Structure 1
Amino acid sequence: MTGKTHIIGGIAAGLAYSHFLGTDPVITTVAGVVGALIPDICHSGSKVGRRMPLLSRIINLIFGHRSFTHSLLFLAAVAFLMDTFFPDDTIKAGLIVGMISHYILDMGTKSGIQLFFPVSFKVRFPVTTRTGSKTENLIFSVLTLISFYYGYHLLGYYIM
């Protein structure tokens, strides 16, 4: 998936989480966007990889693309680091739901992800799409509608 699809996935995940669990939607959504971009640190052409090219290249050299940074092990490591250095549960929750949205979106691609790293087994959905395809644009549109829906409902809570 492209960066824009991961961003809107993080927005939708953060807003949905806020809607159902009553967290601060701004904090959860911003953290969701960050979380949705973090797994692609292993790809130097990604939005986060271009901002941190040296770290991106090192991670890619050690692990490759869509392996460690797209795994449950990485998710647990980030959760542990968040607990250790940033005890704010709202930020942690947003970051984690954003990362999960990234994983789900990448499982919809032909390459899949190495969810159970270090096991080399790739996880993907039975029906997949190519990055940048018309199907991805449709997914982007649906996620945008979901974001508007939850954003509208959350806005209603704050206005009243």
Structure 2
Amino acid sequence: MTGKTHILGGIAASLAYTQFTNHDPLIMVGAGIVGALLPDICHRGSKIGRKLPILSKMINVLFGHRTFTHSLLFLVIITWLLNSFIPSEAVKAGVLAGMVSHYVLDMATKNGIKLFFPLSMTVRFPLTTRTGGKIESLVFSILSLLSFYFAYHTFSIYL
């Protein structure tokens, strides 16, 4: 999936999660965007990889793309780091919701992800799409609608 689809996935996931919490939705959305981009730190052409090129290159050389940073192991490490250094529950929840959305979206691509890294097993959905293809455009549209729906329900209390 492209960066814009991952961003929208992070927004939709964090807004959906706010329906079950009392966390600040704006903080959750911001953190959800960060979490949605974080797994692609292993790809130097990604939005986050271009911002942190040295770190991106190091991670890519060590692990490759869609392996360690797309795994449950990475999710557990990020959870531990967030719990150790970030006091805001909204930030923690948003980052994790964004990361999970990233994993789910990449499991819908032909290449899948190494969810159980260091095992070499690739995890993908039975029906997959090509990054940047027409199906991804449809997914983007659905995520847009979901984002508006959850935003409406989240912010309607302020209207």
Measured against the shorter chain, the TM-score band is over 0.9
Structure 2: runs of 5+ lacking an equivalent = none
Q: Give the whole-Å Cα distance in 2 for the aligned partners of 1:82 and 1:123.
A: 26
Question: What does the per-residue CA deviation read over 1:12-52, in whole Å, with 9 as the maximum and x for residues that have no partner?
Answer: 00100012223211011110000000000000000000000
Distance (whole Å) between structure 2 residues aligned to residue 83 and residue 135 of structure 1:
36
Q: Which amino acid aligns with 1:45?
A: G
Is contact 2:23-2:89 (8 Å) kept?
no
2:120 matches 1:120 = yes
- Structure 2 partner of 1:2: 2
Alignment of 1:83-102 (within 5 A): 83-102=83-102
The residue aligned with 1:104 is 104
Report if the CA contact (8 A) 1:17-1:23 is conserved: no
The letter for the 2-side match of 1:132 is G
User: Runs of 4 or more off by more than 4 Å in structure 1?
Assistant: none
**Considering only aligned residues, what root-mean-square deviation do their CA atoms show, in Å?**
0.7
What is the CA distance between 1:157 and its match in structure 2?
Answer: 1.5
Supply the distance in 2 between the matched residues of 1:110 and 1:143 (Cα, whole angstroms): 20
Deviations 1:91-118 (A, max 9, x none): 0010000000000000000000000010
Stretches of structure 1 lacking an aligned partner (at least 5 in a row)? none
Query: Identical aligned pairs, as a percentage?
Result: 61
- Cross-structure match for 1:143: 143
The letter of the residue matching 2:134 is K
Aligned length: 159
| Partner residue in 1 for 2:58 | 58
- Please say if 1:42 is aligned against 2:38: no
